[in-house]
Amino acid sequence: MDQLIWPAWPLPLGALLPVAVALVLTALAGEAGRRIGLPRVSGYALAGIVLGPLALGWFDTNDLASYRLVVDFTIALILFELGIRLDLRWLVTNRWVVAASAGEMALTFVLTYGALSLVGTGTDVALAVAAIAVGTSPVILTHVTDELRAAGPTTDRLLALCALNVAVSLILLKLLVGVLHSVHAGWQLALLHPLYLLLGPLLAGALIAAAYLGLRRLVDPNSEQGLAALIALLLAAIALLSALRLPTLLAPLIAGAFIKWYDPRPHLWPQQIGTVGGVLVIVTFMLSGAAVSAGELFAGAGVGLLAVLVRALAKLGGAMAFGPVSGLDLRKSLALGVGLMPLSILALLQAEDVRLLYPEFGDRLLPIVVAMVVVLGLLGPIATRRALVRVREHRRGDQS
């Protein structure tokens, strides 16, 4: 009798079934969060941690590496949308917004670096953590603002500052790591590498923007074809940028901002991309706990918590110091600072990338970042949501 027509026992289900179950569990955790009045992303982040090595162990860092493209693509999509919301005309008109952003970032960098140096993490780790701490999670911020359909001056600034934070954090970390590992042997390289890191994404961003605007003339961005074209464009960009050893995620952000600059018409996010993006965000969070193991979490807990605390003080201080001159009142400036708290998978990826290049250095860096992301990935979305509701910029949710 031919054995091949009957199933073997135990059933050889492979990796697909656990992924399916994990996906639905993550989605349900988000729904559970919503029912008790929390942002969905907090539920997703919690599910990710539970599914990772810390508790269930369904995913580990190898999975993160094999699904890396999905995660990169998700973040690229979100940064592209965030870029389209970044109105450069406004930043030119109201330079205080840029000043507020620069002040808040400088404060975060200096204070985080100072605090970590004081507790003796070593200069290299302190610098790298400080560069990552400058960032803010674009995935969480866009998800929470979309969930609330938030709109208003605080929301505008929150998203603009988030975009600038992401850009600066990505460049800063690449530069610092390069400097620390004396990649820049000789002054020519020391000069050329930063230039390459800055101009590369700018050029790539301009190319993506031009391609998008060209495609927009051929296909309606709201149609299936438009969606496919946009996805293809971002995938091509990721492929090209990784080959060029440039930060893959920066170019989509820059492309978005260029598009809004060139064509200020409302670029409304097609419904279908919203749906696709929503599912991808769940997948991303499902994997976000893969790098969180008990050993790392406890190794980094002390310094990580210190970094969280200092970063919180710096972001709040920066927002409150520069918010009022840019036209926000003190209450909304406070909300802005609180809203900038989330730190999530992008920070993990930044640290993970460092580890891939410099394993020894990465092993000292990652635990701290993991601890920060656990705290700020779970509590950050709650902070952002409460801040936006507090200043009454939500259009959905409890109405008063």
Binding site for another protein (CB under 8 A): 85, 87, 90, 93-94, 149, 151-153, 156, 264-266, 268, 327-329, 332, 392-393, 395-396, 399-400
Q: Answer whether 289's CB lies under 8 Å from 59's CB.
A: yes
Give the nearest distance from C-beta 278 to another protein in angstroms: 18
Give the nearest distance from C-beta 89 to another protein in angstroms: 9
Specify the residue, 90 or 196, whose C-beta has the smaller distance to another protein: 90
Give the nearest distance from C-beta 85 to another protein in angstroms: 5
d(CA 79, CA 77): 6
Give the nearest distance from C-beta 329 to another protein in angstroms: 6
Specify the residue, 161 or 354, whose C-beta has the smaller distance to another protein: 161
Quick count: other Cβ atoms within 10 Å of Cβ 168?
20
Give the nearest distance from C-beta 8 to another protein in angstroms: 54
DSSP 269: P
Q: Answer whether 384's CB lies under 8 Å from 140's CB.
A: yes
Give the nearest distance from C-beta 151 to another protein in angstroms: 4
d(CA 308, CA 372): 6
Q: List, in sequence order, the alpha helices (H) in the chain.
A: 16-35, 40-51, 61-66, 68-85, 88-93, 95-118, 123-134, 138-148, 153-180, 187-218, 224-243, 250-262, 271-288, 294-322, 330-339, 345-357, 359-390
- Which tokens hold the place of 249? 């995620």
Specify the residue, 181 or 395, whose C-beta has the smaller distance to another protein: 395
Specify the residue, 40 or 332, whose C-beta has the smaller distance to another protein: 332
d(CA 288, CA 269): 25
Specify the residue, 24 or 151, whose C-beta has the smaller distance to another protein: 151
Specify the residue, 308 or 328, whose C-beta has the smaller distance to another protein: 328
